[in-house]
Amino acid sequence: MKFFVDTADVAEIKDLAASGLLDGVTTNPSLIMKSGRPMLEVIKEVCAIVPGPVSAETVSTDHKKMLEEGRKLAKIAKNVAVKVPLTPDGLKTCKVLVSEGTMVNVTLCFSAAQALLAAKAGATFVSPFVGRLDDIGQDGMYLIAEIMTIFRQYPEYKTQVLVASVRHGQHVLQAAKLGAHVSTMPPSVLRGLFKHVLTDNGLKAFLDDWAKTGQSIL
């Protein structure tokens, strides 16, 4: 499974990228707002840090303007993946951009039928939002299972399932078990995957014993 981080915080991205764990980055208008920086500047900087796909989202809702925005975003760097909403105009835009060689991430997917439409439109990624489904009492991971079952029946579809709105490590693990291609998560969730009380306790015991030897490796 590929790990993307869902943030526009460049400092966080640099730090996580240094670990070798990042395969890409996703952003959205809300994350750009939170960063307090110009969108194009942020995307350009992130693309230089992470060689994998960096999702940058359009904000228009009609096909013509969305396409113009998508083309402008695509010019920032070769690894930009233009994000478009899962709407008729979004899929029209997706089809054109993909035909021009641009990666496209179709976002705000909440049903298997929508994911199928995105695949037929040639999307590079489709982003089902599991956490938001959980919030309204539905099972977000069941949607991932449905989509993966459908996609496996049609190998001609090259669209990757990008699990989004990830809230905790169990979402990541469940998505991996289901064979989802990508999980995008906040930095806190990615860092949380490191944590286990037995790791912490074991490391402390080893260091305490080493200190008692009075030795030094250096």
pLDDT value of position 12: 96
Q: 47: part of which helix (H) or strand (E)?
A: helix 39-49
Assess if residue 186 is contained within a domain.
yes
The number of distinct structural domains making up the chain is 1
Q: Tell me phi and psi for residue 216, to 5 degrees.
A: -145, 135
Nearest to 110 by CA among 92, 88, 136: 136
Residue 78 domain flag: yes
- Tell me if residue 83 is catalytic: yes
pLDDT tens digits, 1-42: 999 999 999 999 999 999 999 999 999 999 999 999 999 999
Task: Kindly state whether residue 218 falls inside one of the protein's structural domains.
Answer: no
pLDDT of residue 63: 98
| Cβ atoms 133, 98 nearer than 8 A | no
CATH number at residue 21: 3.20.20.70
The closest of 34, 92, 17, 24 to 58, measured between CA atoms, is 92
Judge whether 183 lies within some domain. yes
CA 218 – CA 100 distance, rounded (Å): 55
Cα–Cα nearest to 164, from 129, 140, 189:
129
* Mean pLDDT computed over every residue of the chain: 97
pLDDT at 76: 98
The band of 197, judged by pLDDT with boundaries at 50, 70 and 90, is: very high
108: left (phi over 0), alpha (psi -120 to 50) or beta: left
What residues make up the domain containing 104? 2-213
Q: What's the pLDDT at 214?
A: 97
Integer Cα distance of 28 and 138 in angstroms: 24
CA distance 120 to 116: 6
Q: What is the DSSP letter of 87?
A: S
Give per-residue pLDDT as tens, 141-186: 999 999 999 999 999 999 999 999 999 999 999 999 999 999 999 9
Category of 20 on φ-ψ map: left (φ > 0), alpha (ψ -120 to 50) or beta = left
For the chain, list the strands marked E by DSSP: 2-6, 24-26, 54-57, 80-85, 103-109, 125-128, 160-163, 182-185
Among 44, 64, 75, 83, the active-site one is: 83
